[in-house]
Structure 1
């Protein structure tokens, strides 16, 4: 019998499988309206060793992975939802996509020269942050940059309806200090953290970005 934690991640997977098509329709073009995200992604690419692959962890329909690939990056998108990955592969043949869990990444040790995790850690319970960041560290090369984005707060929002679909998924809002501590405890050096309000087309929440670097062995 699956554990309670595996059951929770099964709920997340099924929920994103359910909304995958609608999610792509609504979200796939969002980077065009997010200048700060584009700037941070560009900064991350500049700090990535030439030719090193960049992981998009929790890639959804692959719009960020595709954006990176269009700029000459060897981009690899990883997502828990097989339906999301299927859409991403169809829409962005220039990139690679894998089905996988943040806690058990389908990646070799030190495979990636950088990684982004944009609003994917929000589906992890508080005690899963450190194991997930430790797994990211394992898959990153020494000194590789990592960009993490999340909703700010201390609440857990449950959704049973999402764009007219029945789902069962929790969104964990996080504090910058907690994310920073989890990163530092798992072998990252935090280099920058910033906050912003939501854009007009986004759900209402404050957002945070933390830019870190994998420490040397």
Structure 2
């Protein structure tokens, strides 16, 4: 994927610009957690449970590849996109097999646009430039196959209010199927400090039959 020279930098890019070693530390943190036997693939297990074997998955904001790597090993065809080339390099090194691409989610335009699932984990939505949030969500909607679902999770108090996010998703053409408060299926409430939202693409949903059908 090519990135426009006139694009708005993401919050993640601002962090890296201020601290060039940030990405490398992030990679090593997850490598260390994996080496210690820490469970770092809870998101991926939920996605896998939602899919038939051999599904197409877009790991949006894939980072160093922990989610997409697991889903590839589970037998799915995975494309991962992240704006940070250091993270993509780590994904390619640690999780060979998926297609890992450097790209801006706000300019998402992949040659294949029929993903059975799009997963956006790790608080990625909160690192986007606020002006690009709806464009990112619209890109997800465009890249879903009929019947496909987008699963997006992030925490509260990170600069993106849950209600605002759900409004943006509706504007972008996504319809809420399910709201959870964790990646292990606990229900979402008004007091939840984390949101996992499962969406479908609104135009692909079944419409009621007419009385004369």
Q: Distance in 2 between matches of 1:214 and 1:30?
A: 39
Alignment partner of 1:184 out of 156, 170, 177: 170
Q: Which residue of 2 aligns with 1:33?
A: 39
Superposition pairs of residues 21-100 of structure 1, within 5 angstroms: 21-28=24-31, 32-33=38-39, 37-46=43-52, 51-100=54-103
Q: Distance in 2 between matches of 1:99 and 1:66?
A: 16
Q: 1:30 to 1:95 in 2, by over 3 A?
A: farther
Q: Which residue of 1 aligns with 2:141?
A: 137
Q: What are the Cα deviations for residues 64-114 of structure 1, in whole angstroms up to 9, with x where unaligned?
A: 110110100111111001111111101111211000111012412624221
Q: Which residue of 2 aligns with 1:128?
A: 132
Q: Which runs of 5+ in 1 are unaligned?
A: 154-171, 198-204
The Cα of 1:193 is off from its aligned counterpart by 1.1
Q: 1:206 to 1:27 in 2, by over 3 A?
A: farther
TM-score, length basis structure 2: 0.75
SS at match of 1:180: helix
Does residue 151 of structure 1 match 2:138?
Answer: no
Q: Which runs of 5+ in 2 are unaligned?
A: 184-191, 205-213
Q: What are the Cα deviations for residues 149-202 of structure 1, in whole angstroms up to 9, with x where unaligned?
A: 11113xxxxxxxxxxxxxxxxxx43222222111111111101112259xxxxx
> Given that residues 17 and 81 in structure 1 are in contact (C-alpha distance below 8 angstroms), is that contact kept between their aligned partners in structure 2?
no
Q: Distance in 1 between matches of 2:37 and 2:170?
A: 29
> Given that residues 130 and 186 in structure 1 are in contact (C-alpha distance below 8 angstroms), is that contact kept between their aligned partners in structure 2?
yes
Q: 1:17 to 1:194 in 2, by over 3 A?
A: farther
Q: 1:38 to 1:8 in 2, by over 3 A?
A: closer
Q: Which residue of 2 aligns with 1:209?
A: 196
SS at match of 2:179: strand
Q: Distance in 2 between matches of 1:127 and 1:58?
A: 17
Larger radius of gyration: 2
The RMSD of aligned alpha carbons is 3.0
